Chains A and B, each alone.
Chain A
Amino acid sequence: MSVIEELTAELAKLPGIGRKTATRLTYHLLKQPAATVTRLAETIRAVGERVHPCTVCGNLSEVEPCPICADPRRDGSVVCVVEEASDIGPIERTGAYRGLYHVLGGRLSPLDGVGPDDLRVDALRSRLGNGSHVREVILATNPSMEGEVTATFVRGVLAATGVRVTRIALGLPMGGELEYADGVTIARALAARREMGEG
């Protein structure tokens, strides 16, 4: 396999990129100045080497703990639970939330081989243990069937902790992903969150 084919094959593995787009990107890169291509390659390498999940919340960060966990101005009494680290950005951009986060690392989906042990639920329970300041956990998993089921499951696990558990209001269309929702919609969903009954 030539190096051109190799790059095309690597790009085609990325989500949302088909063979046609991968080929176009490859030839686009070949036409760029060497410095541009080198900068891209080094950035990709740096991301892989320097970015790690925060050991507290699971957010992706170059520092440990992540800047959100380390920020003393954040409200440590609220934890917002999301499926993926990529869900944090859209919530942060609303400016409507000042608490902390917890990344589950997915959602319950046995079809994809994701069971309870594959999610960071135990880590969440530990965060709420002795000496914790957390008074409310907001479940902000996606409004899909799997997201709902995951929320119900986490709610059940947290029942014994006595912490207040709420669910974002589903202003988001069923099946719509948090990641792609606009700021106003997310802010409204957070503001209108409601108590979750015993799971």
Chain B
Amino acid sequence: MELTALTIRNFRNLAALDVEWPERGAVIIGDNGQGKTNLLEAIYYLVLFRSFRGVKDRELVRFAEAGFFVAGSAGHRVTAGYEVHGARKKVTVDGAPVGKLGDAVGRLLAVSFSPADRVLVAGGPAERRRYLDVLLALSDRRYLDALTALRAALRQRNAALRRGLAEAAWAFDEPLAHAAAAVAAGRLAWVERHAARFGELCAALGEADEPGVAYHLHRGGAVDAATVAAGLAGARERDLRRGMTTIGPHRDELRLSLAGHETRWVGSAGQQRTAALALRLLEAESLARIHGTNPIALFDDAFAELDARRQERLLSLIGETLPGQAIITAPRDAEVPAALFDRPRWQMQGGRLAA
């Protein structure tokens, strides 16, 4: 997949950008705070219609402006607009407004690499659940629908539990159990299918310490609705006491390990970065296989913290798994591997791009 044109209006510090992208992408050099990451965030906004930094739409609007607009062409033309007044979001695909965001999610595909990805490995289980949810939502419409239903059912059931409305809470057990089973089944199947490849990618990046990945169902969790429903029924007393739902995939864990111990706890900073890179490469491979096209690669200062040996190994893997378009940002030329300068170099300053 190839981004050919991008339009940005009032997105963070980017007042107005109209960019024609070269087939191979570009290297963008600029000091921190000039808008490099904002540019990548705007591109990725067209994938999920949410910030990859997890902030609210309102916070993406340039200071004192009424809203933002982003449009990108990559085969399809995808646009997203947000108005602060009324908190209105409008998304179109090829000129037609979409009724549900789910109809537009994944039309534009990208994978983002950033030093902040280390939190995927070092952070809490919610980070890794989100990784799976984004990847699977972009891969399978039924997963996205199940995930949406799961979140809605959890919000309703938890609201009922907090208010002590027991009967109302149990009424949501059935849709919750169905959605929970579908989400857990989707995650488990993906992890089982890709566990070996995760190990290979880590090894290729220089990890010698028996890297592993597994999906752990939380107590009471299951991949069939009847078992989840039974678990929910058995946990009613406890849920009512705690005012929250204690059973379901929102408690499951994607566990990364080194020689059987959690990478989160035992991995060095370098080992955690390696595991995070392997997850991103796996994401790219998985999306490419399902969609039959390579996602656009976004590298946000992604090479800075890697030693020369890891850089070299990463570059060779990128050459295999992400041979297409790449947009690379860095504060200085020296922080971009020389091999990536086979594409134009642009400067970014104060939210503007210059050749």
Q: Chain A: residues with CB nearer than 8 A to chain B?
A: 18-19, 108-111, 113, 115-116, 145-146, 148-150, 152-153
Knowing A115-B160, A115-B165 touch, does A108 contact B175 (C-beta < 8 A)?
no
Q: B53 interface residue, CB < 8 Å from A? A: no
Task: Report how far A109 CA is from B159 CA in the complex, Å.
Answer: 9
User: Do the beta carbons of B171 and A111 come within 8 Å of each other?
Assistant: no
Q: B156 interface residue, CB < 8 Å from A? A: yes
- 17 A-B residue pairs with Cβ-Cβ distance under 8 Å, sorted by A, are A18-B86, A110-B157, A110-B160, A110-B165, A110-B169, A111-B155, A111-B156, A111-B159, A115-B163, A115-B168, A145-B149, A145-B152, A145-B172, A149-B172, A149-B174, A152-B171, A152-B174
User: Do the beta carbons of A149 and B175 come within 8 Å of each other?
Assistant: yes
Contacts of B175 in A (CB 8 A): 145, 148-149
Measured CB to CB, the nearest residue on chain B to A112 is B159
Q: B167 interface residue, CB < 8 Å from A? A: yes
10 closest residue pairs by CB, A with B = A110-B160, A110-B159, A115-B165, A111-B159, A153-B171, A115-B168, A149-B171, A110-B168, A116-B167, A145-B175
Docked complex: B153-199 residues within 8 A CB-CB of A: 153, 155-157, 159-160, 163, 165, 167-169, 171-172, 174-175
Measured CB to CB, the nearest residue on chain B to A149 is B171
User: Do the beta carbons of B168 and A19 come within 8 Å of each other?
Assistant: no
Contacts of B85 in A (CB 8 A): 18-19
Task: Report how far A18 CA is from B88 CA in the complex, Å.
Answer: 11
B8 to chain A, nearest CB (A): 25
Measured CB to CB, the nearest residue on chain A to B88 is A18
Contacts of A153 in B (CB 8 A): 167-168, 171
A19 to chain B, nearest CB (A): 7
User: Do the beta carbons of B153 and A145 come within 8 Å of each other?
Assistant: yes
Contacts of A113 in B (CB 8 A): 163
A8 to chain B, nearest CB (A): 15
